[in-house]
Amino acid sequence: MARFVDVALPVPLDQTFTYLTDGREPQVGARVLVPFSGQRLMGVVLRAHDEEPTTGFELKAIQQVLDDTALLPPELLRLAHWIAQYYVAPLGEVLRGMLPLSAEVRRTWLYRITDTGRKILHEGAEKGSSRRSRLSPEDQNREYAVLNRLESGEPTRMATLRSATGASKALLEGMVRKGWLAREAEAAERDAARTERVIVTVPDVRLPKLNDNQLAILAEMAGAGGELSAAALRRNLRERTAINADGALVPAPIPDSTVATLIRRGILRAEERPLSFHLGGVHAPGKKHAHEHTLNPGQQAAFEAIHAAMQRAAAPAQQPADASPAGFAPMLLFGVTGSGKTAVYAAAMRSALDLGRSALLLVPEIGLTPSMAGQMHAAFGHDVALLHSQLTPDERAEQWHRIRRSEARVIIGTRSAVFAPIANLGLILVDEEHDGSYKQEETPRYHARDVAVMRAKLLGIPIVLGSATPSLESWHNAERNRYRLLRMDERVGNRPLPPVELVDMREEFRQTGEDALFSRELITETRATLNRGEQAIILLNRRGYSYVVMCRSCGERIECENCAIAMTHHRPAANSDLHAHAGERLECHYCGALRRVPQKCPHCQSEHLYFYGAGSQQGEERLQAIFPEARIGRMDRDTVRGRADMEHLLHRLHAGEINLLVGTQMIAKGHDIHGVTTVGVVGCDHALGLPDFRAAERVFQLITQVSGRAGRGDAPGRVIVQTFHPDHYAMRFAAMHDYVGFADKEKQFRRPFLYPPFGVLTNVLTLSETMGEASEWAHRLGQHLHSAANPGVRVLGPAPAPVSRLKRIFRFHILLKADTRQHMQAALRRLLHFADREGVPRRNLVIDVDAISLS
């Protein structure tokens, strides 16, 4: 037995820690609790050995072994090592990110009867309890009760046994010592029974005479496909609106008791379902699910390429324990908006299952695209597990263990699902691979898309990155044949991509003399759309009412007290009890700070405060004034706080209850609403001016994606983009639906400056509560970087970060660009050593490899 174990701990130090095993040798990959500078920390065992450490410190012993077997399989341990190396992140922090949350540490015991136990039970049954025992007769009876209870062989939880038999924990442990029972740890069993109430329309009932409210409920249920969680239904009924005799939209709530009446009359039915299986029911009535389509030739070709790659990967039999990268097959599925990528994903995952493998689908944010999870649920039923950030720690643990026990073989999740402990993984899909939410913005600062590629490589399996607007990084890889390019250039059903018109807002001003928010063109087109009974979407990519509050006298903007960020003005919400922050206020969108709208300028006491820059809230108000008859909905962080809000909004859109939608970039995310024919883009220009080399790429992506929402049904679509920079190449190529043209142009700008994908980028930040310290550290690191021999590395800065203060922390940064990853990693290791020597605390240093946000 090994005397020592090396443990990775979640502390910002790039090393592991050695502990004495004290006779309890945990498996590599198991979790342990250990003492660490006065605390008890959970760590993961990486190595067991007999090499006496030479540090001279007195070694401590592990306090508790939490898992009998490795919680993380070797595959994920290898991935963790890669991440720690690649992102220059402490291994313990990487591992912590891989495991379900610490709620998991509370574990339960399962007891099982042994052969000895069975023998005792049978002897007792024959002879009565005549054995010699030090126990009281009551306790002896309890022991028999326990054995009886376990006789079937089913492992049973301690709590269940205790309440069923009255046995104490000590009594059970005594039985384990005598060898009558075996005990094993099982952390997740306790959550298996979590359920929720779902309301279902009973099919084929003859309807009795119903009143208006009852009919409205049935319509609501039909709109949701005949099935809705009780909570969602209750909420939809509470917030229901109707059009009154004057044509105005008025609140028309329906009491919950009406649902109960319908259940009593056998028209609806309530069912208890395991919680994890309600995956979002937003689906337009009559619309087919992704897996129900017969693939068109473009989809079929993409599918066949993926299928063939899976078959090749499956060929060598020794996976995954001895994975060779032979089956690794990265593919970029470049399919225009509305080309039907979801159906390709569904078909590919189906064939992974047919080959006896599991499949992982990563999505940017489940809350924003509930229909993706819903589609996969429709296709794969209870084979699906969901992992996303809105789960409670217990729910998360439950899903995690379902996956680990291979009860779910189709795993859908956001960023951290890339670490799901999936056995026999055969395919990884990354939807909307360009999406910024795949990047984790705290330690370990990994990019889930890139980690997914590495996981596929370590396992030797295919991976598909899908997008209508691939990141330049992925595109570059496809161009250099590192990724196989699969293209779908056509929309399904031969639908055309919508024509995009750029409206020059400078010209608009010259002609009208007015600084209008909406151009005449957009208003005319929107009116025509609404009159035709179609739907329109307008993007206003800032939330709130006005995003700048400025003093006319001194010119100062009102900034957040905690952050170097202008505050946004919010007006009271119309139906204010729905929102956490009602009332008129200023809000910081970085730290959430609120303050009252001041009467006077805080700097010069002038009373002339000026509010400008329309956000989505103001957009909604102005649109309502222009189109009083329109049924307007708003989609932004103020109206959509969770998945239920999003589902509710989408549901009303599909049902046509909303015919004009205004919102932030949330409206651009993958929604497939067939009635939308017109899309307007207002005020995207500011993003072009941001100090970030990806600004043009982001604007191109946003315009292309939001344009992609138009014309997905039978009627053709049309897009109107208002801009002050109609000649900017991001605008021009987006208007022409020319991704390749955009990428070529963009590369010309990036290549000479060694920006990704031509170079490797790292943003190094120093953080401190005092400006002096942050600045001084940055300058010392800067000096080191400028003077050290770091071949192939260019250094920009130090300088205050674009957001120079965030949540009261001052921020300086240095940008590093390198020709190769090796050069970058060498420079970063040297930098960390230097920082360590100079006493710059690791906590105050951010090393953001492949940084996505430079602010």
Ligand X SMILES: Nc1ncnc2c1ncn2[C@@H]1O[C@H](COP(=O)(O)OP(=O)(O)OP(=O)(O)O)[C@@H](O)[C@H]1O
Task: Give which of ligand X, Zn ion, none residue 273 binds (C-beta under 5 to 8 Å, depending on kind).
Answer: none
> Taking Cα atoms as reference points, which of 452, 845, 521, 854 lies closest to residue 680?
521
Q: Select from 110, 259, 309, 343 the one that contacts ligand X (CB under 6 A).
A: 343
CB of 809 to Zn ion, least distance (A): 11
CB of 567 to Zn ion, least distance (A): 8
Asked if 285 touches ligand X (CB under 6 A), the answer is no
**Site residues for Zn ion per CB under 5 A:** 560, 562-563, 588, 590-591, 593
Please report, for the chain, how many H helices and E strands are present, in that order.
24, 35
Q: Report, in this order, helix, strand and coil percent for the chain, each rounded to 5.
A: 40, 25, 40
Would you list the DSSP string of 201-227? EPTTPPP----HHHHHHHHHHHHTTTE
For the record, the structure tokens of 210 come out as 């119903």
601 known ligand binder: yes
Q: Select from 117, 330, 340, 663 the one that contacts ligand X (CB under 6 A).
A: 340
Q: Select from 242, 492, 523, 573 the one that contacts ligand X (CB under 6 A).
A: 492
d(CA 28, CA 72) in angstroms, rounded, equals: 9
Q: Select from 395, 672, 685, 850 the one that contacts ligand X (CB under 6 A).
A: 672
Give all strands (DSSP E) within 164-318, no chain letters: 181-186, 195-201, 227-229, 241-243, 249-251, 268-274
d(CA 197, CA 361) in angstroms, rounded, equals: 27
CB of 427 to ligand X, least distance (A): 17
Angle separating helix axes 771-787 and 821-837, nearest 10 degrees: 130
At a CB cut-off of 8 Å and minimum separation 6, what does 841 contact? none
Asked if 701 touches ligand X (CB under 6 A), the answer is no
Q: Are 830 and 789 in contact (CB under 8 A)?
A: no
**Secondary structure of residue 534 in the 3-state scheme:** coil
End-to-end CA distance of the chain: 51
Give the residue with the Cβ less far from Zn ion, 591 or 688: 591
SS (H, E, C) 399-460: HHHHHHCCCCCEEEECHHHHHCCCCCEEEEEECCCCCHHHECCCCCCCEHHHHHHHHHHHHC
178-217 residues in contact with ligand X (CB under 6 A) are none
Asked if 664 touches ligand X (CB under 6 A), the answer is no
Q: For 337, which DSSP code?
A: T
CB of 287 to ligand X, least distance (A): 6
604 known ligand binder: yes
436-465 residues in contact with ligand X (CB under 6 A) are none
Give the residue with the Cβ less far from Zn ion, 141 or 562: 562
Residue written as token pair 């060498």: 826
Neighbouring C-beta atoms of residue 271, cutoff 10 Å: 12
Q: Select from 223, 335, 444, 615 the one that contacts ligand X (CB under 6 A).
A: 335
Asked if 225 touches ligand X (CB under 6 A), the answer is no
296-315 residues in contact with ligand X (CB under 6 A) are 296, 299
CB of 568 to Zn ion, least distance (A): 11
Asked if 670 touches ligand X (CB under 6 A), the answer is yes
Task: Give which of Zn ion, ligand X, none residue 670 binds (C-beta under 5 to 8 Å, depending on kind).
Answer: ligand X
Q: Which residues is 268 bridged to in the sheet?
A: 201
Q: Are 117 and 180 in contact (CB under 8 A)?
A: yes
Give the residue with the Cβ less far from ligand X, 92 or 663: 663
Asked if 339 touches ligand X (CB under 6 A), the answer is yes
Q: Select from 278, 283, 341, 455 the one that contacts ligand X (CB under 6 A).
A: 341
Q: Which stretch binds ligand X (CB under 6 A): 11-19, 23-31, 287-295, 534-542?
A: 287-295
Task: Give which of ligand X, Zn ion, none residue 590 binds (C-beta under 5 to 8 Å, depending on kind).
Answer: Zn ion
Asked if 338 touches ligand X (CB under 6 A), the answer is yes
Give the residue with the Cβ less far from Zn ion, 532 or 808: 808
CB of 591 to Zn ion, least distance (A): 3
| Residues that contact ligand X, how many (by CB under 6 A) | 22
CB of 661 to ligand X, least distance (A): 16
Angle separating helix axes 341-354 and 370-380, nearest 10 degrees: 40
Asked if 708 touches ligand X (CB under 6 A), the answer is yes
- Compute φ and ψ for 306, nearest 5 degrees: -70, -45
Task: Give which of Zn ion, ligand X, none residue 339 binds (C-beta under 5 to 8 Å, depending on kind).
Answer: ligand X
Task: Give which of Zn ion, ligand X, none residue 540 binds (C-beta under 5 to 8 Å, depending on kind).
Answer: none
Q: Where on the chain is the footprint of ligand X (CB under 6 A)?
A: 288, 290, 293-296, 299, 335, 337-343, 468, 492-493, 670, 672, 708, 712
Annotated binding site for Zn(2+): 551, 554, 560, 563, 588, 591, 601, 604
